[in-house]
């Protein structure tokens, strides 16, 4: 197996994912509209509720839309991760997954390629959103568009890994509503995407604790700091560890000879 073949496989999978993304224009638009609705409608209503305390990385008072922008980027990547997981289940049901897995390359590698392809798509969505947010007056330093990139890649990998792991649990496409209910909503609402941790502590120490251990919170905080050219080592470490756990578990779970798939499909 030459490295070239590995690269070709990666390129092929990425290209396929990109084509799929480009051809599903509705998906791109809905991926963009969702956070924009939050930004322009939800945040507009809450404009003055925050701005009462200064928390790092901010050094002065900010409008609510500035606060939730990193959370909405996280939301884009969270939905994208779940969407990739959905398409994995779809591919499995349609049989195109077989074509992929028939390749002589190691399965784990193919899954990582799939993951990277998903991250690439999420980056395009995130930057499209960032540009619109920036044009509409959400104040992000120009250098922030570059310094946020590594954070976006890491959070994309973590959330994509989670999606990958989910897809090995979901047997049928119909179960996806459950994913919405039990994964996306708790992850998103129980995080620092919409409210800072101290605000949650005021209402319930219990919620505060849950939001603190939520890996999505840490991914959002990592993006938040990176947008202002700052580093949050704790959030980066937390996200990295979560990413490794998800990806390894997903790869293990996808191996039909052992792990979850075998148990689930009830191999003979």
Partner 1 sequence: MKNLMTSKARAYPVGLVVGWLIALPLPAETVYVTLEKDNALAVVDGVQGTLQKTVSIGKRPRGLAASRDGRLLYVATSDDNSIVVLDRASLTVTARLPSGEDPETFALSSDERRLFVSNEDDNQVTVVDLAGRRQIRQIPVGVEPEGIATSADGSWLVSTSETTNMVHWINPVSLALIDNTLVDPRPRACAFTADSRQLWVSSEMAGSVSILDTATRQLVKRLTFNIPGVTREKIQPVGIALDAARRYGYVALGPANRVAVIDAQKLEVLRYILVGQRVWNLAFSPDGQSLYTTNGLSNDITRIDLPSHKAVKSIAVGQSPWGVVALP
Residues that bind partner 1 (CB under 8 A): 44, 47-48, 51-52, 54, 59-63, 139
Nearest by Cα to 253 from 263, 265, 261: 261
Nearest residue (CB) to partner 1, 28 versus 46:
46
Nearest residue (CB) to partner 1, 54 versus 244:
54
Contact 10, 105 (CB under 8 A): no
Nearest residue (CB) to partner 1, 66 versus 115:
66
Query: Least Å distance between CB 71 and partner 1?
Result: 19
Query: Least Å distance between CB 48 and partner 1?
Result: 5
Nearest residue (CB) to partner 1, 47 versus 263:
47
Query: Least Å distance between CB 62 and partner 1?
Result: 7
Query: Least Å distance between CB 46 and partner 1?
Result: 9
Helix 149-169 with 107-135: angle, nearest 10 deg: 130
3-state secondary structure of 114: helix
Q: What is the dihedral of CA 130, 135, 139, 140, to 10 degrees?
A: 40
CA atoms within 13 A on the CB side of 230: 13
């Amino acid at each position: 197996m030459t490295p070239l073949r590995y690269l070709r496989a990666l390129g092929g999978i990425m290209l396929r994912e990109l084509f799929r993304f480009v051809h599903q224009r509705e998906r791109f638009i809905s991926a963009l509209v969702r956070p924009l609705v939050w930004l322009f409608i939800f945040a507009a209503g809450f404009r003055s509720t925050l701005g009462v305390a200064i928390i790092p990385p901010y050094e002065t008072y900010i409008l609510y839309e500035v606060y939730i922008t990193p959370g909405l980027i996280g939301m884009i990547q969270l939905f994208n991760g779940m969407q990739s997981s959905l398409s994995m289940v779809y591919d499995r049901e349609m049989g195109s997954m077989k074509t992929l897995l028939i390749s002589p390359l190691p399965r784990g590698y193919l899954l990582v390629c799939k993951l990277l392809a998903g991250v690439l798509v999420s980056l395009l969505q995130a930057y499209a959103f960032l540009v619109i947010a920036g044009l509409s007056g959400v104040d992000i330093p120009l250098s922030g568009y570059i310094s946020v990139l590594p954070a976006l890649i890491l959070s994309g990998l973590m959330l994509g890994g989670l999606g990958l792991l989910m897809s090995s649990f979901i047997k049928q496409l119909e179960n996806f509503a459950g994913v919405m209910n039990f994964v996306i909503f708790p992850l998103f609402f129980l995080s620092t995407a919409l409210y800072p941790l101290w605000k949650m502590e005021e209402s319930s120490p219990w919620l505060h604790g849950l939001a603190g251990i939520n890996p999505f919170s840490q991914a959002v905080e990592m993006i938040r700091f990176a947008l202002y050219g700052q580093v949050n080592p704790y959030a980066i470490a937390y996200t990295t560890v979560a990413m490794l756990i998800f990806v390894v578990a997903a790869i293990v779970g996808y191996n039909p000879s052992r792990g979850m798939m075998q148990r689930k499909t009830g191999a003979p």
